């Protein structure tokens, strides 16, 4: 499972997911990208599931770039815990993704393969996405 090696603080506040991405909104490394149309939290398991789907479809032929990483810890209290008694233990890690963020990029493959790989990967993610080309807004 993807998670940070080291963090300054163990637990975080929930924060907000509003706004449009200004960073990471363009295809920078590959020729094709998968861009989000809405904001959400994407868990480490969802990122890994989508990554494996893309690798499987491209038969590991193209070069894949992951543009997001799950830095945010999510806590969870045990079942039956009484009210109060502090914040729960860290359960999973998630990535905060704003609208317009490019999640994955693919290079060294043809457009039809990339389009189909991203279509399959998008079904594993909790956000609506669209296929973008390099240089496209």
pLDDT of residue 136: 78
Given a cut of 70, whether residue 95 has pLDDT beyond it is yes
Taken in order of first residue, the domains within the chain and their CATH numbers are: 33-76+89-129 (3.90.1170.10)
Give the per-residue pLDDT at 137: 65
What local confidence, expressed as pLDDT, does residue 123 receive? 98
- pLDDT digits 0-9 by tens, 8-54: 999 999 999 899 999 999 999 999 999 999 999 999 999 999 999 99
| Of 72, 63, 49, 55, residue with least CA distance to 125 | 49
- Structure tokens of 120? 């399959």
Q: Rounded to the nearest 10 degrees, what angle do helices 44-57 and 111-122 cross at?
A: 150
Torsion angle, alpha carbons of 4, 41, 15, 79, to 10 = -80
């Amino acid at each position: 499972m993807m998670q940070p090696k080291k963090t300054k603080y163990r637990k975080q506040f929930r924060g907000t997911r509003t706004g449009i991405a200004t960073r990471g909104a363009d295809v920078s490394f590959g020729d094709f990208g998968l861009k989000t149309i809405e904001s959400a939290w994407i868990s480490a398991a969802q990122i890994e599931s989508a990554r494996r789907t893309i690798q499987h479809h491209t038969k590991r032929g193209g070069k894949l770039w992951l543009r997001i990483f799950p830095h945010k810890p999510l806590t969870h209290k045990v079942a039956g815990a009484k009210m109060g008694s502090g914040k729960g233990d860290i359960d999973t890690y998630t990535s905060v993704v704003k609208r317009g963020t490019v999640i994955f990029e693919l290079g060294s493959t043809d457009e039809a393969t990339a389009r189909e790989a991203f279509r399959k990967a998008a079904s594993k993610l909790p956000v609506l996405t669209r296929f973008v080309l390099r240089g496209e807004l």
